[in-house]
Structure 1
Amino acid sequence: MKSITFLTAMTVAIAATGAEAKTRLLVNCFWPSSHFACSTVLPNWVEEVERVTEGRVTGIIPPKSVAPPPEQLAAIERGIADVAVMFNGFFGDAAVGPKVAMQPFVGSHDAEAMSKALWATNREYFADEIEQVHLLSQFVISPAELYSQTDTPINSLDDLAGRKMWVLPGPLAEITKKLGTGVVSGPAVQSNEIISRGVVDGHLGLDPQAVQAFQLMPYTKSTTKFSGAIYSTSFSVFANKDKWAEISPEDQEAIMSVSGEVLGAAFGRAWNEAAAMAEAAYADAGIEVVDVDPAFETALQEASAFVTEGWLKAAEAAGIDGQGALDFYKSQIGEMTN
């Protein structure tokens, strides 16, 4: 009788220990819950994490973001959430490296290839740059496009300079202002407020899926298709360091096997699919696709060179071989897209 009682107690203790060994991650997603990042990409990653750790690490995605987009890092550091995604521009000087993918005319129209290239570049040139959290992945979304809201497409520097444009804040706003363009700048989520009211007659900085998601197609007459990407935006996925430390080394390794390039590629692939669907709706929306005049593309490349020059200086100050990283990133994209 005593032995049975002892065995029963041991079984309960082992079961309790197993339950305590489980780690649940609160995975935040700042996009609307219906966005594919929140409804598909991150849930699929959570399932993969649970699979490769055999249920020892699980995850849950709250129905609403626990913090606004610029405060994802702060939310993770304070332990409000365990995993989050953030636009790399919000890191400021704390993350110069991943902005290699945000330089004008260095990317392609393939977000999956750019995402893989960015992670490879991260591992090679700035893997230890972000220290306050554990970096899980980095990725790049489909590139920004140039749109006209009048019957005349934008296909020269003069066309661009003669417009009043809504432009995404950051490098694109700097470039267009330098060209003499009238610029109204603000967060992408507020673009509809400006564009739908006719305050501007063109917009630059949104990718096709964003134009569709923010219901801007009715106000858009044409888009100028560049051979390369004018500008792309990169993001990081990261975890709270203390929470990450709770996970065994074996499970950490397993989680990284489905993160890194794998997770970045999943984000990029989802953006590719969403952009393709949006572009397929151009015809019905009356949006004309105009091939760029090569002279315009060359002139805009030259006019935007100062942005990359500034980044190279910032990379050097951060101890990063900026030119090496830039060349490597472009070569990786070339290998994947050729």
Structure 2
Amino acid sequence: MNKTLIVATLALTLGTTAADAKTRLLVNCFWPSSHFACSEVLPAWIDEVERVTEGRVTGIIPPKSVAPPPDQVAAVQKGIADVSVMFNGFFGESVTGPLVAMQPFVGSNSAEAMSRALWRTNREFFADEIDTVQLLSQFVISPAELYSQTDTPMNSIEDLAGRKMWVLPGPLAEIAKKLGSGVVSSPAVSSNEIISRGVVDGHLGLDPQAVQAFQLMPYTKSTTAFSTPIYSTSFSVFANSDKWAELSPEDQEAIMSVSGEALAAAFGARWDKAAAAAVAAYPEAGIEVVEADPAFEAALTEAAAFVTEGWLKAAADAGMDGQGVLDFYTSQLAQ
């Protein structure tokens, strides 16, 4: 083989290798592998990433989470995972903006609408707040509801105050304690062992799909439906910054085109679907839906106001126009 042919062959080989080079992302999912976030939403996003990058970036989801739910950002920072999802409350005091979607009586009954509104609010007000990882999206799940485990629905402050309740940790637990309820608080994943044993006679903080997924319908007699949901929970999707920097600007732009609001809406829409399926199962499960007395909703809204007041102060301390953020978020929901 002459020298010219050797050089040409080497160049062709190197060119082919460069063209075939791929980046594979380890995309972690802390929910059980059967949960639709792990089995549907994130796999669909990975497919889209591969499509828009023309196969240069692919992804794989491990069969089991590489870290507990509160440790997702740490796992990504350390490179144990390349991409993950985490509840925004786990960021601690360093992250304030996305908690706007978690203020009492602020959201809507559409997780998709709330997710779109949150991402738009992020782009407008706190796009750079999360800076230890590369933010890809933020979304909101279907809102939490108030459930009674006795034959008597809860439809007044007195009803709620007189109960021993399982309540999701955080603002809801603080509200229930303020009203005088006996509160047992734990992560949502351990709610069944408390609720099913009859330790409490009501629960607050789970959305309908969680009540179904955690097999709590047999222990639930009614739910109180408010005109504006009590509370919703928001999450962030993010990537390892070093891994992100390895990608070409073109691939970064392509990935963001299928992330951001598109991914937020996908998560929200799938949660809406799951919540609707759970609500459709209420009659067969013997769960009565009771419309909230307007006086109860007004009193509970007033009792919960201290949560938003605290968030507005935290936003101001972070140099953020909290009221502007809140007004923008609610205006996006109105659209």
Q: Which residue in the other structure is 1:19 paired with?
A: 20
Shift of 1:4: 3.4
Cα deviation 1:222-248 (Å, max 9, x = unaligned):
000111110000000000000000000
Q: Which residue in the other structure is 1:141 paired with?
A: 141
Q: Which residue in the other structure is 2:179 paired with?
A: 179
Distance 1:126 1:165 in 2: 35
Cα deviation 1:124-148 (Å, max 9, x = unaligned):
1111100100000000000000000
Q: Which residue in the other structure is 2:151 paired with?
A: 151
Q: Where do 5+ consecutive residues of structure 2 fail to align? A: none
Matches within 5 A, 1:29-178: 29-178=29-178
Shift of 1:75: 0.1
Distance 1:105 1:42 in 2: 29
Q: Secondary structure at the match of 1:86?
A: strand
Distance 2:25 2:294 in 1: 49
Q: Secondary structure at the match of 1:65?
A: coil
Matches within 5 A, 1:294-313: 294-313=294-313
Distance 2:299 2:132 in 1: 40
Distance 1:258 1:267 in 2: 12
Distance 2:186 2:53 in 1: 42
Distance 1:233 1:9 in 2: 55
Distance 2:112 2:56 in 1: 30
Cα deviation 1:84-112 (Å, max 9, x = unaligned):
00000000011100000000000000000
Shift of 1:6: 2.9
Distance 1:17 1:261 in 2: 32
Distance 1:213 1:145 in 2: 15
Q: Secondary structure at the match of 1:236?
A: strand
Distance 2:11 2:86 in 1: 45
Cα deviation 1:16-61 (Å, max 9, x = unaligned):
22234x2111100000000000000000000000000001111111
For 1:12, give the aligned amino acid.
Answer: T
Would you say 1:213 and 2:230 are equivalent positions? no
Cα deviation 1:164-195 (Å, max 9, x = unaligned):
00000000000000000000000000000000
Distance 1:263 1:253 in 2: 14
Q: Secondary structure at the match of 1:104?
A: coil
TM-score normalised to the size of structure 2?
A: 0.99
Q: Secondary structure at the match of 1:24?
A: strand
Distance 1:32 1:15 in 2: 39
Q: Secondary structure at the match of 2:147?
A: strand
Distance 1:264 1:95 in 2: 18
Q: Which residue in the other structure is 1:236 paired with?
A: 236
Number of aligned residue pairs: 334
Q: Secondary structure at the match of 1:203?
A: strand
Distance 2:183 2:28 in 1: 33
Shift of 1:14: 1.1
Shift of 1:15: 1.7
For 1:35, give the aligned amino acid.
Answer: H
For 1:191, give the aligned amino acid.
Answer: S
Q: Which residue in the other structure is 2:9 paired with?
A: 8
For 1:117, give the aligned amino acid.
Answer: A
Shift of 1:278: 0.3
Cα deviation 1:227-275 (Å, max 9, x = unaligned):
1110000000000000000000011001000000000000000000000
For 1:257, give the aligned amino acid.
Answer: S
Give the aligned CA root-mean-square deviation in angstroms.
0.7
Distance 1:229 1:247 in 2: 41
Q: Where do 5+ consecutive residues of structure 1 fail to align? A: none
Q: Which residue in the other structure is 2:282 paired with?
A: 282
TM-score normalised to the size of structure 1?
A: 0.98
Counting aligned pairs with the same residue, the percent is: 77
